[in-house]
Amino acid sequence: MDVRAPALIPDNPAFQRVGVRWVRHWNEHLFSFAVDRPASFRFRSGEFVMIGLPGEQDARPVMRAYSIASPAWAEELEFLSIKVPGGPLTGRLQAVRAGDQLYLGRKPTGTLVCDALLGGRRLWLLATGTGLAPFLSLARDPEVYERFGQVVIVHGVRRVSDLAWREQLVAQLAGDPLVSEQALLQLHYLPTVTREPFHTAGRITALIGDGRLFAPPVMGPRGFDAAIDRVMLCGSTEMIRETSALLADAGLREGSNANPGHYVIERAFVG
């Protein structure tokens, strides 16, 4: 058994130091981890924050933007990350263990929040890969179920093992301390896989095009309707570009914190 002392990091005036609570490896290139939440840290479900580690040989810390996967009420901050071999941050981050320390930014921000959307009946949370993270936050926030009658999480991945959180989402967050009853009635989870056999196959845009996205138990029209539909997009640049065009064709307007609309994307992650 490999036992080592926790990896502690030096103080940095620009960031807070936080301890790692737990790490879960979903497969060889995807993992989740959680850190302590500082008492002063406030955020809205769906926002992102900077996470990082010290640079090599006293260089500036290596920081990257990560969506917070835990809801605004949680006592810990959870994140979902890919593993990039040799990556400046993830190459090291994937090796962290409980008790190690990381840097945490002081100011969360983002547009994947309820405040950036107009009121509506159906909320679509469309994600590819680790773009699921902010929607894990929103799906566990009671405010979301108060604002929308139905919440639909669509997660597109390449392989079945990439479906992080699949068991909990299939169970409609059963056992969640705040939203389990609401999620049972209002949450619908639709995973889709592109490179392995699975009961739902194809890209998110394909599901939109052939109508599978709107099949029961989803209620309402079999297409996007600006009068009732609100959409959040997070994931690959290609998915966001193509889906945004489909939403615009359906009459939906992009929103922001300053000007709420029918759909939002997180431009911080879009190249």
Cα–Cα distance measured from residue 111 to residue 141, given in angstroms and rounded to the nearest whole number: 16
| Average pLDDT for the chain | 95
More confident residue, 6 or 247: 247
Q: Let me know: does 104 contact 15? Beta carbons within 8 Å.
A: yes
pLDDT of 269: 67
Residue 8 one-letter amino acid: L
Q: Let me know: does 169 contact 142? Beta carbons within 8 Å.
A: no
Tell whether the model's pLDDT for residue 180 goes beyond 70. yes
> Helix (H, G, I), strand (E, B), or coil: what is residue 242?
helix
Model confidence pLDDT, tens digit, residues 128-155 = 999 999 999 999 999 999 999 999 999 9
Q: Per the omega criterion (within 30 degrees of 0), is the bond before 217 cis?
A: yes
Model confidence pLDDT, tens digit, residues 116-133 = 999 999 999 999 999 999
pLDDT of 267: 79
Residue with tokens 């969640």: 176
pTM greater than 0.85: yes
Once rounded to an integer, what is the mean pLDDT over residues 207-211? 97
Q: How many CB atoms sit inside 10 A of residue 12's CB?
A: 13
Q: Let me know: does 103 contact 17? Beta carbons within 8 Å.
A: yes
CA distances from 168 to 79, 175, 184, 189 (A): 16, 9, 12, 10
Tell whether the model's pLDDT for residue 2 goes beyond 70. no
Model confidence pLDDT, tens digit, residues 59-91 = 799 999 999 999 999 999 999 999 988 889 999
pLDDT of 4: 82
pLDDT-based confidence at residue 271 (cuts at 50, 70, 90): very low
